[in-house]
């Protein structure tokens, strides 16, 4: 049986950057993925500045579009535009981003093997054994980065999670007005219960999608067709239409089991309001790599510090996102009115740019929209409002 210092199961952004950080620090790392690379993944493909700050490598080679404006609408009607001064989001495709990060991890020394499906994960006091395609490897630590449908979360007992759902597709610029979409991210609030509709520009196409509560799953195709009609995009020209689940961790849940830990979507680290998980994936990858290196070097006796850091760093933002999500879902028109105020945009802009990582640090007029959304969320939790927040 092959032996490594760490085994990373899943080569998305979380797994690849964790493997990169470990390998760069001298660890012997096995990075596995069940798919053959390059491969695509359903995802809006937006990298906020706060996500980019967590990347250990440049993503300039795979950026297809720079978004500097947000266009927010309410149920495909009333709309407003904010931004235009400096970049807000870098747009890419997961097929390109993931292949780029895997290549960087391999160049740093990680042993990357694609097309290998992990079939079992066995833990003991000394570490973990991962079985895949008739063979196995062992290591003192395993990092589960195989996403919402992967083996590791199930094997570690994280099957009971709350989920959102989304459906997306692509429309080529040959069938869409390129000048309408370039440089802007379009989001319509109130269009889907528990979520929104979107259009994101890419290099040669736009990505259009809808997402919301898990209960909206049976109606997502209708929602997507309605969104295409509202945006003037030909539904019949949609390509690569895919649905996916968005896992959301429960408050206080620790993504650690003995010598194994979870990162990214496998840990349920998706923002409840936006449905984005790339920032959380990259942050958790950094924390995971640091925890593993501490363990391997004898500076720590276990991985519990990782779970504590995840709770401390992400819980405040996740709590604020749940409040905003409930406010938009139960009182959509009023919440939209709050969202279009200048203080609300300044708050959103600072969060996107990683200038305000903790909503508890909000001060001045930016506190007003945050407090208003929290008040609406509190009202939504009262009897008569079937709230779905944790």
pLDDT-derived band at 153, boundaries 50, 70, 90: very high
User: Are the CB atoms for 71 and 79 separated by under 8 Å?
Assistant: yes
- Are 389 and 318 contacting, i.e. CB atoms less than 8 angstroms apart? no
pLDDT of residue 249: 85
Mean pLDDT of the region 307-330: 91
Q: What is the pLDDT of residue 29?
A: 98
Topology match between the domains 2-45+93-159+250-302 and 60-92+162-248: no
**Residue 345 near residue 82, CB atoms below 8 Å:** yes
Instruction: Tell me the C-alpha distance between 14 and 281, whole Å.
Output: 5
Q: If we measure between CA atoms, which residue out of 136, 75, 94, 102 comes closest to residue 16?
A: 102
Dihedral sign from CA coordinates of 304, 310, 43, 49: negative
- Average confidence (pLDDT) over 368-387: 79
pLDDT of 298 reads 96
Nearest-angstrom CA–CA distance, 87 and 353: 9
pTM: 0.94
Residue 229 has pLDDT above 90, yes or no: yes
Summarize pLDDT for 76-102 with one digit per residue, the tens.
Answer: 999 999 998 899 999 999 999 999 999
- CA proximity to 11, closest of 85, 115, 84: 115
Taking the C-alpha atoms of residue 150 and residue 159, their distance in angstroms, rounded to an integer, is: 11
Among 154-158, 159-163, 190-194, 242-246, the least confident range? 159-163
Per-residue pLDDT averaged across 175-201, rounded? 96
pLDDT at residue 243 in the model: 95
CATH 2.40.10.120 fits 2-45+93-159+250-302, yes or no: no
3-state SS, residue 150: coil
Q: What is the three-class DSSP state of 178? A: helix
Q: What is the mean pLDDT of the chain?
A: 93
**CATH label, 60-92+162-248, candidates 3.30.9.10, 3.40.50.300, 3.40.30.10, 3.90.1150.10:** 3.30.9.10
**Helix (DSSP H) and strand (DSSP E) numbers for the chain:** 11, 20
- For 53, phi and psi rounded to 5 degrees? -65, -20
Check residue 387 and give its pLDDT.
Answer: 45
Instruction: Provide the pLDDT confidence category of residue 357 given band limits of 50, 70 and 90.
Output: low
Least confident of 123-132, 153-162, 204-213, 298-307: 153-162
The predicted pLDDT at position 383 comes to: 53
Burial category of 69 from C-beta neighbours within 10 Å (exposed 0-12, middle 13-18, buried 19 and up): middle
> Over 90: is that where the pLDDT of 182 sits?
yes
pLDDT above 90: residue 212: yes
Residue 279 scores a pLDDT above 90: yes
Q: How far apart are the first and last CA of the chain?
A: 43
The domain ranges of the chain are 2-45+93-159+250-302, 60-92+162-248, 318-380
Q: What angle do CA 329, 166, 164 make, to 5 degrees?
A: 55
Rounded Cα distance between 299 and 388, Å, is 41
| Lowest mean per-residue pLDDT among 55-59, 263-267, 281-285, 353-357 | 353-357
At residue 351 the predicted structure's pLDDT band, cuts being 50, 70 and 90, is confident
Neighbours of 85 (CB within 10 A): 9
Q: What is the mean pLDDT of residues 9-22?
A: 98
Helix H segments across the chain? Answer: 13-24, 49-52, 94-107, 151-155, 178-181, 220-231, 278-296, 304-330, 332-339, 342-352, 367-380
Q: What is the pLDDT of residue 388?
A: 45
Tokens matching residue 47: 């990298």
Residues in CB range of 165: below 8 A, 6 or more apart: 211, 212, 213, 214, 216, 217, 220, 243, 244, 245, 246
Share of the chain above pLDDT 90, in %: 82
Pairing of strands 184-189, 69-74: parallel
pLDDT for residue 390 is more than 70: no
């Amino acid at each position: 049986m092959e032996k490594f210092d760490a085994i990373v199961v899943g080569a998305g952004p979380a797994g690849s950057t964790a493997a990169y950080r470990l390998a760069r620090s001298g660890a012997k790392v096995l990075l596995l993925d069940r798919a053959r690379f390059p491969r695509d993944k359903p995802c809006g493909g937006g990298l906020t500045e706060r996500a980019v700050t967590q990347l250990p490598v440049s993503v300039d080679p795979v950026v297809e579009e720079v978004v500097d404006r947000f266009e927010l609408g309410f149920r495909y009607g009333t709309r407003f535009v904010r931004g235009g001064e400096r970049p807000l989001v870098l747009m890419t495709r997961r097929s390109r981003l993931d292949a780029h990060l895997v290549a960087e991890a391999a160049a740093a020394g990680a042993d990357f093997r694609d097309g290998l499906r992990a079939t079992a994960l066995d833990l003991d006091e000394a570490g973990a054994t991962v079985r895949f395609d008739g063979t196995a490897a062992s290591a003192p630590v395993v990092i589960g980065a195989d996403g919402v449908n992967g083996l590791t979360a199930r094997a570690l007992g994280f099957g009971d999670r709350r989920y959102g759902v989304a459906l997306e597709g692509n429309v080529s610029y040959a069938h869409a007005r390129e000048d309408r979409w370039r440089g802007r991210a379009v989001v319509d609030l109130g269009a889907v219960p528990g979520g929104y509709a979107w259009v994101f520009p890419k290099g040669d196409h736009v990505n259009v999608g809808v997402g919301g509560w898990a209960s909206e799953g049976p109606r997502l195709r209708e929602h997507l067709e309605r969104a295409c009609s509202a945006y003037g995009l030909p539904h019949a020209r949609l390509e690569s239409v895919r649905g996916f689940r968005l896992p959301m961790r429960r408050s206080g849940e620790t993504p650690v089991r003995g010598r194994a830990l979870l990162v990214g979507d496998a840990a349920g680290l998706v923002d409840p309001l936006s449905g984005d998980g790339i920032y959380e994936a990259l942050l958790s990858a950094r924390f995971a790599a640091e925890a593993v290196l501490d363990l391997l070097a004898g500076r720590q006796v276990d991985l519990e510090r990782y779970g504590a850091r995840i709770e401390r760093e992400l819980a405040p933002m996740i709590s604020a996102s749940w409040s905003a999500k409930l406010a938009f879902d139960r009182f959509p028109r009023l919440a939209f009115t709050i969202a279009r105020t200048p203080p609300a945009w300044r708050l959103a802009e600072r969060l996107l740019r990683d200038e305000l990582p903790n909503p508890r640090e909000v001060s001045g007029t930016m506190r007003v929209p945050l407090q208003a959304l929290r008040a609406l969320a509190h009202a939504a939790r009262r009897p008569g409002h079937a709230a779905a927040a944790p």
